[in-house]
């Protein structure tokens, strides 16, 4: 076998016919400025070739697709092993994916609960063992013969369901008797419930004890256990007989309440299992609720002029309009005054209705639209249930059927997600909370931070008789937990939703999963594994990468972090610059070899001993700041934080210390809610002082650019419309009758009809997921043939989209608007990016800079904006970071404020004011360790950030 | 009058059949159903027996035997099938009625005996729902009869509907009395309230049927229903009293052709109608459905 992956003559994208050798079984870092060709080498050459060759080895059906995969432009590649890519991207929004499901730890923990969980009585918390059905039956058969045993099971009602519906459903299932708090009721009678009872038991059947149960008896016990979701109540009505059975109750269940637990299966704890998921929220843990603020469109307007969204009151819908008018007249509030001037009782009527009271339907003098014939007419009594009540009711009624898109949009617009009131966020049916291991329910275990969970697992005592079944499960849990903890994710919990993880955290969870798979002989391509990690945690990633190599794998990382680069076995430096000026290997070899290479750019940074700290002066002015009071979101410990304005403020701290909770969840959402969308509910805090000083807020994070393959940087920064106008006005366009700009959009008339303007076709291969192949009709050009016949300055629309921003700058030099916008993109070092690159292929760092370029291009003269940036240095070479800081400074010079959540020391050193969160992660974090200038941070021995800066 | 010898012959057939099954360990219970249990028998009667076996039973569910020259119709159910039936059955079911008049021949399972006896408990909720259903049936046919008689001037069709009104009223009377409805329900109800059936049913057989008579019968039917409205509609009126409207009201009934007729309350002036917006299926347009509230 080859000792290296040998690539000869790579010419893909900007690569200059390069030859590369990457050692097997080692950790190789590909470094270089943005746009130098790092990703092309890693993904478009190594990954693409690896994927195509792997598919070629599979079945004929798969080959059909692989033959359409684009062959990388190279002479040859040798010594390739199967390639796995661990890119950074935010997981899709999906409330069902959690850290538990993602890491598969939930699966193993479910086994653990089914194997060694013990039951506890829902009414007195008495603990008892979980039995199997067959064991319980054997024990029942040992009771005195002829004893009459009544079988019952507990049931739980949803918050949203009414008792009469609930009882009717039980009756429809064939049950006739229930016990409510011990009192026997017949479902054939009316049952009045004034107050939620503590227990409702269904009387299922009776059996008579005999030496050997017949099938009917067994079935009766089994059915009761099934209906009770593992819980059964055994009642012996005759007191004398009951006394004789005391030891049975003592040994297997709760002697006081007669509760027993049997046949608990792993699927009992899966919220993705329909039988186990909470009936109310179907296992998502959230339900939707309408909020009054959301239905108000403009509180400065009157009801008459459109204070409410048109869905609830508008002049075109006569009945709704007249009813609102009549409501105002009948209850004596104004239909013409601004909504926010209305008294509270009026708002209450509008939102929550007349509570069964009726009022006459009236018509204002200036309104002439007729009422439809089939509804109430003028003078008739009508009722109003209130907008909020109506939305909530209709939403409840729509459950159980598929919603149309407009309905989903409607509910999304006017409702917010809230914790499910029935399961309180556990996502499971209530019975699951009564199965414990060491006093922890499955849900409680999922809320533990991983490092505590690790200790919990270590403390579990395994019964000897279950060792054989349990040890492999425990080993698997232990190993997966170790990987996650070792990679610095010890502060997260299994119940955390995967879509709340950052791109970096998500990548690390996947990396931990790869370690646990114990596969060897693979080539891993990992994109910036240190993103989102505090410098002090870099060591953890390095250890993990070394572990992957030690398992016999080849690891290739694209990385800018000097800590990682210094520890690499092999370094490939791409450059010297971006785009057409890049694509060469300027140095390669061990770190020592690269450092000695005169051509290397990174060598300067690797050699740098410069640890000087600018003696920056900054005076905190109370009048020019905002103050978050009593921040309590997630792990924040009721803290007050002041943030100076018109300056660069850096929020630092290790992962999980509470930076995002403070910066995004509280500050950004509070501002967004106040200024734009009241549906956004900010994280827990008391109030924010000085919010009025901020005119608008803009959050720039990895998702800002969007994730659509149909969007491009040209559309994002707003130049594509102009480019299409230019094409529509050309002589060719007029000649071919293609003189409307819609022909030059691949999403509209101009798109290839076969692939609908995508340039590729999606095929789904069962075990390999989605596979993209070039569209055979347009050959990847995205446009229909006739559109490509239209030329401007010798290029058709596709060729223009293929231009990078640097080329486009000169191509459009005579168009001031386009030229101006493009120049900002180039200034931020994105000159190599293509105008038509799908935005879903743009890295997080590129997205940040594109956003920034758009904002700088837009905000000339705009003041008092607050920009919140989440790790803007992601994907940036040390050289590019300087450009970024320059761009940020230009925003501040224009009178704006910038709050950056960052780990990068270059940015931290440049910040005017630093707020260091911590000291630890999760429950050990959530406090401000120190806030002040860089000197203050360094002077604070408790600040991990300060200490890290001193050592780097 | 029943033939004594015939009964004797049937008895012998019953005894000899039961004797063969009673000692069988897997046969848990036997019921005599049909005419032999509750009525007189004649030469074309058959002897109907229901046997309950344990779950190991693998034979057919029905057999037709000849014992002492008597046709014995043997129905066999496993205990689970039978218990499931007991759990799901209701008064409108033929077997429920048959079982209610059956004779328990033997039973080796005390729990089965308890379950069997329990199904005949007539709860207050069930009683009121059955009254409502009978009433709604009667109203449905009264509307049909009135339309034919008063609008279409079609007396023949009107007469056709009158026995069906009577049947609805009979169901109501039987339910009110907490009795299990029988096949000949009008006869059963007449024993409870002879007067109403004399006025709305018997006249069709004993008097010359004229337009005046039909008119009178229909008026009597209406009057009877009107007079009974408050009692029969008690659950609904009491809900309206407490909650104002029926928006969140639901009353789950057994499968029934017509459901509950709420509009009657409006017809007799107890309730007023108004409209309330609703969405139908997932159509974007809003519709308006009838709502009811009590007339003040």
In the predicted structure, residue A66 carries a pLDDT above the cut 70: no
**B253 at A interface, C-beta within 8 A:** no
Is residue A96 included in any domain, yes or no?
no
List of chain B residues whose C-beta atoms are within 8 Å of the C-beta of residue A358: 274, 293
Compute φ and ψ for A756, nearest 5 degrees: 55, 40
**A408 at B interface, C-beta within 8 A:** no
> pLDDT grade, residue A519 (50/70/90)?
confident
List of chain B residues whose C-beta atoms are within 8 Å of the C-beta of residue A357: 244
Q: How far apart are CA A653 and CA A900, in angstroms?
A: 12
pLDDT in tens, A892-919: 988 899 999 998 888 999 999 999 998 9
Mean pLDDT, residues A190-211 taken together? 93
For chain B, residues classed under CATH 3.30.460.10 are: 4-118
Q: How far apart are CA A849 and CA A701, in angstroms?
A: 10
Dihedral angle computed from the Cα positions of residues A704, A705, A708 and A709, in that order, rounded to the nearest 10 degrees: -150
Question: Smallest Cβ distance to B54: which of A164, A174, A215?
Answer: A215
Q: Which of A536, A472, A545 is nearest to A508 (CA)?
A: A545
How far, rounded to the nearest angstrom, does the alpha carbon of residue A689 sit from its chain's CA centroid? Answer: 30
Half-sphere exposure of A133 (CA within 13 A, CB side): 17
**How close is the nearest chain A Cα to the Cα of B278, in Å?**
8
Contact call for residues A567 and A124 (beta carbons, < 8 A): no
The pLDDT value recorded for residue A501 is 81
Q: How far apart are CA B131 and CA B128, in angstroms?
A: 5
CB contact under 8 A, B252 and A375: no
Q: Within this chain, do residues A78 and A207 fall inside the same structural domain, yes or no?
A: no
Is residue A429 included in any domain, yes or no?
no
The alpha helices in A611-747, defined as continuous H runs, are 659-660, 669-675, 713-716, 720-728, 731-735
Domain total in chain A: 5
Q: Within this chain, do residues A589 and A643 fall inside the same structural domain, yes or no?
A: no
pLDDT in tens, A787-842: 999 999 999 999 999 998 988 999 998 888 898 889 888 888 888 888 998 887 77
In the predicted structure, residue A704 carries a pLDDT above the cut 70: no
Q: How far apart are CA A923 and CA B238, in angstroms?
A: 55
How big is the A-B interface in CB pairs under 8 Å?
A: 106
Is residue A444 included in any domain, yes or no?
no
List of chain A residues whose C-beta atoms are within 8 Å of the C-beta of residue B55: 214-216, 219
**A376 at B interface, C-beta within 8 A:** yes
Rg of the Cα trace of chain A? 33
Q: How far apart are CA A234 and CA A255, in angstroms?
A: 10
Q: How far apart are CA A844 and CA A853, in angstroms?
A: 14
Q: Which CATH architecture has domain B124-243?
A: Up-down Bundle (1.20)
A277 C-beta neighbours (distance < 10 Å), count: 20
Mean pLDDT, residues B164-168 taken together? 97
pLDDT in tens, A587-602: 999 999 999 888 888 8
Which DSSP state fits A269?
Answer: G
Q: How far apart are CA A834 and CA A850, in angstroms?
A: 12
Which has the minimum average pLDDT: A281-285, A599-603, B166-170?
Answer: A599-603
Fold of B4-118: Beta Polymerase; domain 2 (3.30.460)
**How close is the nearest chain A Cα to the Cα of B98, in Å?**
20
Q: Which of A911, A897, A903, A902 is nearest to A870 (CA)?
A: A902
Question: Smallest Cβ distance to B275: which of A186, A375, A404?
Answer: A375
3-state secondary structure B5-42: HHHHHHHHHHHHHHHHHHCCCCEEEEEEECHHHHCCCC
**B88 at A interface, C-beta within 8 A:** yes
Q: How far apart are CA B216 and CA B200, in angstroms?
A: 8
Strand A259-262 versus strand A127-131 pairing type: parallel
**A379 at B interface, C-beta within 8 A:** no
Looking at residue A601, which CATH number applies to its domain? 3.40.50.300
Q: Within this chain, do residues A146 and A211 fall inside the same structural domain, yes or no?
A: yes
* A330: CB partners within 8 A, 6+ apart: A359, A360, A362
Looking at residue A364, which CATH number applies to its domain? 1.10.8.280
Is residue A662 included in any domain, yes or no?
yes
**How close is the nearest chain A Cα to the Cα of B179, in Å?**
15
CB contact under 8 A, B110 and A148: yes
Q: Which of residues 110-129 of B touch A (CB under 8 A)?
A: 110-111, 114-115, 118, 121-126, 128
Q: Within this chain, do residues A295 and A406 fall inside the same structural domain, yes or no?
A: yes
Ordered DSSP codes for A622-676: GGGEEEEEEE-STT--SEEEEEESSSEEEEE-STTSSHHIIIIIIIIHHHHHHHT
CB contact under 8 A, A216 and B79: yes
* Residue A10 tokens, joined: 């790579």
In the predicted structure, residue B162 carries a pLDDT above the cut 70: yes
Question: Smallest Cβ distance to B250: which of A165, A376, A383?
Answer: A165
What is the average pLDDT score of chain A? 88
Mean pLDDT, residues A540-544 taken together? 87
> pLDDT grade, residue A764 (50/70/90)?
low
**How close is the nearest chain A Cα to the Cα of B53, in Å?**
10
User: In the listed set A392, A418, A444, which residue is the last one of a domain according to the structure?
Assistant: A418
Q: Within this chain, do residues A254 and A402 fall inside the same structural domain, yes or no?
A: no
Contact call for residues A18 and A546 (beta carbons, < 8 A): no
Q: Which of residues 285-324 of A touch B (CB under 8 A)?
A: 319
Q: Which residue from A minimizes the CA distance to B130?
A: A188
Q: Which residue from A minimizes the CA distance to B114?
A: A206
Q: How far apart are CA A353 and CA A362, in angstroms?
A: 17
Q: How far apart are CA B79 and CA A217, in angstroms?
A: 10
Domain range enclosing A557: 4-90+502-607
pLDDT in tens, B177-197: 999 999 899 999 999 999 999
* Residue A686 tokens, joined: 């008391």
User: In the listed set A607, A635, A652, which residue is the last one of a domain according to the structure?
Assistant: A607
3-state secondary structure B160-210: HHHHHHHHHHHHHHHHHCCCCCCCCHHHHHHHHCHHHHHHHHHHHHHCCCC
For chain B, residues classed under CATH 1.20.120.330 are: 124-243
Q: How far apart are CA A404 and CA A398, in angstroms?
A: 10
Question: Smallest Cβ distance to A190: which of B79, B125, B250?
Answer: B125
* Residue B81 tokens, joined: 């099938």
pLDDT in tens, A450-481: 999 999 999 998 888 888 888 999 999 999 99
Q: Within this chain, do residues A684 and A721 fall inside the same structural domain, yes or no?
A: no
Q: Which residue from A minimizes the CA distance to B57?
A: A215
Q: Within this chain, do residues A132 and A258 fall inside the same structural domain, yes or no?
A: yes
The pLDDT value recorded for residue A544 is 87
Q: Within this chain, do residues A690 and A740 fall inside the same structural domain, yes or no?
A: no
Q: Within this chain, do residues A216 and A137 fall inside the same structural domain, yes or no?
A: yes
Terminal CA-CA length for chain A: 40
The pLDDT value recorded for residue A575 is 86
Dihedral angle computed from the Cα positions of residues A320, A324, A325 and A330, in that order, rounded to the nearest 10 degrees: 130
Mutate to test the interface with A, among B55, B58, B132, B180 (most CBs of A within 10 A): B55
Tell me what ipTM this predicted complex has.
0.90
Q: How far apart are CA A450 and CA A471, in angstroms?
A: 20
Q: Which helix (H) or strand (E) covers residue A574, if one does?
A: strand A570-575
* Residue A792 tokens, joined: 């401007």
Name the percent of chain A lying above pLDDT 90: 47
Q: Within this chain, do residues A234 and A253 fall inside the same structural domain, yes or no?
A: yes
* Residue B23 tokens, joined: 């000692």
Q: How far apart are CA B257 and CA A510, in angstroms?
A: 58
In the predicted structure, residue A743 carries a pLDDT above the cut 60: yes
In the predicted structure, residue A702 carries a pLDDT above the cut 70: no
Which has the minimum average pLDDT: A482-486, A630-634, A678-682, B140-144?
Answer: A678-682
Question: Smallest Cβ distance to A186: which of B115, B121, B252?
Answer: B121
CB contact under 8 A, B126 and A165: no
The residue length of chain A stands at: 952
Q: Which residue from B minimizes the CA distance to A188?
A: B123
Is residue A331 included in any domain, yes or no?
yes
Q: Within this chain, do residues A334 and A297 fall inside the same structural domain, yes or no?
A: yes
Is residue A669 included in any domain, yes or no?
yes
DSSP tally for chain A: helices H, then strands E? 36, 34
- Burial pattern B207-236, b for ≥16 Cβ within 10 A else e, equals eebeeeebeebbebbbebbeebbeebbebb
Q: Within this chain, do residues A559 and A603 fall inside the same structural domain, yes or no?
A: yes
* Residue A905 tokens, joined: 């020391």
Looking at residue A167, which CATH number applies to its domain? 3.30.190.20
The pLDDT value recorded for residue A499 is 84
In the predicted structure, residue A952 carries a pLDDT above the cut 80: no
Residue with tokens 């030891």: A247
Is residue A224 included in any domain, yes or no?
yes
Q: How far apart are CA A672 and CA A699, in angstroms?
A: 10
User: In the listed set A607, A635, A653, which residue is the last one of a domain according to the structure?
Assistant: A607
CB contact under 8 A, B252 and A165: yes
Which DSSP state fits A373?
Answer: T
Is residue A935 included in any domain, yes or no?
yes
């Amino acid at each position: 076998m080859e000792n290296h992956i040998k690539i000869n003559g790579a010419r893909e994208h900007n690569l200059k016919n390069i030859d590369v050798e990457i050692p097997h079984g080692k950790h190789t870092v590909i470094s270089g400025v943005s746009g130098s060709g790092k990703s092309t080498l890693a993904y478009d050459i190594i990954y693409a070739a690896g994927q195509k060759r792997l598919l070629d080895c599979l079945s004929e059906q798969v080959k059909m697709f692989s033959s359409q995969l684009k062959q990388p432009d190279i002479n040859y590649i040798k010594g390739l092993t199967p390639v796995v890519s661990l890119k950074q991207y935010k997981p899709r929004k999906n409330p069902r994916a959690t850290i538990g499901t993602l890491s598969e730890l939930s699966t193993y923990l479910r086994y653990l609960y089914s194997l060694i969980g013990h039951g506890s009585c829902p009414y007195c918390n008495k603990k008892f063992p979980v039995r199997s059905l067959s064991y319980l039956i054997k024990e029942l058969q040992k009771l005195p013969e002829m004893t009459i045993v009544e079988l019952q099971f507990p049931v739980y009602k949803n918050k949203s369901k009414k008792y009469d519906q609930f009882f009717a459903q039980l009756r429809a299932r064939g049950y006739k008797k229930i016990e409510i708090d011990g009192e026997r009721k017949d479902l054939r009678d009316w049952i009045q419930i004034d107050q939620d009872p503590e227990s409702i038991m269904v009387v299922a059947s009776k059996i008579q004890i005999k030496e050997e149960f017949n099938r009917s008896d067994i079935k009766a016990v089994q059915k009761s256990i099934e209906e009770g979701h593992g819980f059964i109540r055994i009642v012996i009505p005759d007191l004398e007989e009951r006394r004789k059975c005391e030891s049975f109750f003592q040994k297997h269940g709760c002697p006081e309440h007669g509760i027993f637990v049997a046949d608990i299966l792993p699927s009992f704890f899966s919220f993705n299992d329909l039988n186990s998921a909470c009936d109310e929220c179907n296992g998502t843990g959230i339900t939707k609720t309408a909020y009054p603020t959301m239905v108000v469109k403009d509180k400065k307007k009157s009801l008459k002029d459109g204070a409410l969204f048109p869905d609830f009151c508008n002049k075109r819908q006569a009945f709704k309009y007249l009813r609102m008018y009549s409501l105002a007249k009948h209850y004596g509030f104004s239909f013409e005054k601004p909504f926010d001037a209305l008294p509270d009782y009026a708002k209450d009527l509008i939102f929550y209705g007349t509570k069964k009271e009726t009022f006459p339907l009236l018509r204002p003098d200036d309104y002439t639209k007729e009422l439809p014939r089939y509804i109430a007419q003028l003078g008739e009594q009508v009722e109003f249930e209130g907008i909020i009540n109506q939305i909530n009711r209709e939403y409840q009624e729509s459950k159980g059927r598929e919603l149309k898109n407009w309905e989903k949009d409607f509910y999304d617009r006017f409702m917010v997600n809230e914790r499910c009131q029935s399961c309180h966020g556990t996502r499971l049916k209530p019975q699951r909370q009564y199965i414990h291991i060491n006093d922890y329910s499955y849900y409680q275990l999922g809320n533990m931070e991983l490092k505590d969970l690790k200790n919990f697992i270590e403390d579990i005592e395994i019964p000897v008789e279950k060792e054989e079944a349990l040890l492999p499960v425990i080993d698997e849990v232990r190993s997966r937990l170790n990987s996650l903890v070792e990679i610095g994710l010890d502060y997260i919990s299994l119940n955390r939703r995967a879509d709340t993880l950052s791109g970096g955290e998500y990548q690390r969870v996947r990396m931990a999963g790869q370690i646990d798979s114990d596969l060897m002989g693979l080539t891993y391509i990992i994109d910036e594994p240190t993103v989102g990690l505090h410098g002090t945690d870099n060591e953890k990633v390095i250890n993990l990468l070394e572990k992957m190599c030690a398992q016999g794998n080849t690891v290739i990382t694209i990385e800018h972090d000097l800590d990682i680069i210094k520890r690499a076995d092999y370094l490939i430096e791409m450059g010297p610059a971006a785009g057409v000026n890049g694509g060469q290997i300027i140095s390669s070899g061990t770190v020592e070899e690269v450092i000695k290479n005169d051509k290397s750019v990174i060598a300067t940074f690797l050699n740098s001993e410069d640890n000087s700290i600018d003696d920056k002066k900054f005076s905190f002015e109370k009048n020019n700041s905002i103050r978050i009071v009593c921040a309590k979101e997630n792990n924040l410990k009721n803290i007050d934080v002041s943030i100076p304005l018109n300056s660069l403020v850096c929020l630092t701290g290790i992962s999980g210390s509470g930076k995002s909770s403070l910066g995004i969840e509280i500050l950004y959402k509070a501002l967004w809610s106040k200024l734009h969308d009241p549906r956004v509910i900010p994280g827990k805090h008391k109030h924010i002082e000085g919010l009025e000083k901020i005119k608008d807020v803009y959050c720039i994070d990895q998702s800002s650019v969007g994730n659509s393959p149909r969007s491009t940087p040209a559309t994002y920064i707003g130049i594509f419309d102009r480019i299409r106008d230019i094409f529509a006005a050309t002589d060719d366009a007029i000649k071919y009758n293609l003189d409307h700009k819609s022909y030059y959009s691949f999403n509209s008339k101009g798109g290839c009809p076969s692939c609908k303007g995508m340039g590729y076709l999606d095929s789904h291969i069962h075990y390999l997921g989605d596979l993209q192949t070039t569209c055979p009709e347009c050959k990847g050009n995205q446009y229909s043939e006739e559109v490509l016949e239209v030329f401007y300055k010798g290029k058709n629309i596709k060729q223009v989209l293929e231009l990078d921003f640097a080329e486009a700058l000169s191509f459009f030099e005579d168009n001031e608007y386009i030229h101006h916008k493009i120049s900002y993109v180039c200034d931020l070092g994105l000159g190599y990016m293509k105008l038509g690159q799908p935005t879903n292929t743009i890295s997080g760092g590129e997205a940040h800079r594109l956003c920034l370029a758009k904002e700088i291009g837009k905000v000339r003269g705009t003041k008092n904006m607050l920009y919140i940036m989440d790790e803007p240095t992601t994907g940036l070479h040390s050289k590019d970071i300087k450009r970024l800081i320059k761009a940020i400074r230009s925003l501040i010079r224009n009178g704006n404020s910038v709050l950056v959540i960052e780990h990068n020391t270059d940015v931290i050193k440049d910040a005017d004011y630093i707020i260091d969160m911590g000291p630890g992660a999760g429950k050990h974090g959530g406090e401000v360790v120190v806030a002040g200038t860089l000197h203050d941070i360094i002077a604070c021995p408790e600040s991990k950030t300060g200490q890290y800066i001193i050592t780097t | 009058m029943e033939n004594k010898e015939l009964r004797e012959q049937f008895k012998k057939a019953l005894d000899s059949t039961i004797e063969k099954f009673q000692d069988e360990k897997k046969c848990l219970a036997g019921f005599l159903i049909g005419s032999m249990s509750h009525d007189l028998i004649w030469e074309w009667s058959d002897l109907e027996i229901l046997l309950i076996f344990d779950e190991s039973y693998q034979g057919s569910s029905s057999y037709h035997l000849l014992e002492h020259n008597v046709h014995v119709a043997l129905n066999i159910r496993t205990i689970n099938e039978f218990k499931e039936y007991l759990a799901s059955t209701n008064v409108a079911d033929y077997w429920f009625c048959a079982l209610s008049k059956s004779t328990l021949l033997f039973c080796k399972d005390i729990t089965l005996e308890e379950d069997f006896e329990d199904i005949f408990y007539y709860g207050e909720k069930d009683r009121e729902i059955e009254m409502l259903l009978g009433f709604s049936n009667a109203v449905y046919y009264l509307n049909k009869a009135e339309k034919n008689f008063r609008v279409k001037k079609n007396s023949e069709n009107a007469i056709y509907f009158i026995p069906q009104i009577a049947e609805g009223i009979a169901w109501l009377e039987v339910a009110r009395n907490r009795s299990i409805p029988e096949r000949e329900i009008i006869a059963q109800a007449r024993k409870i309230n002879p007067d109403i059936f004399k006025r709305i049913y018997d006249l069709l057989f004993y008097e010359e049927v004229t337009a005046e008579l039909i008119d009178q019968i229909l008026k009597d039917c209406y009057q009877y229903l009107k007079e009974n409205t408050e009692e029969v509609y008690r659950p609904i009126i009491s809900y309206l009293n407490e909650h104002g409207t029926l928006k969140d009201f639901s009353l789950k009934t057994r499968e029934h052709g017509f459901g509950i007729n709420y509009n009657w309350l409006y017809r007799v002036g107890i309730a007023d109608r108004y409209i309330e917006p609703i969405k139908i299926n997932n159509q974007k347009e809003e519709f308006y459905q009838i709502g009811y509230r009590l007339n003040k």
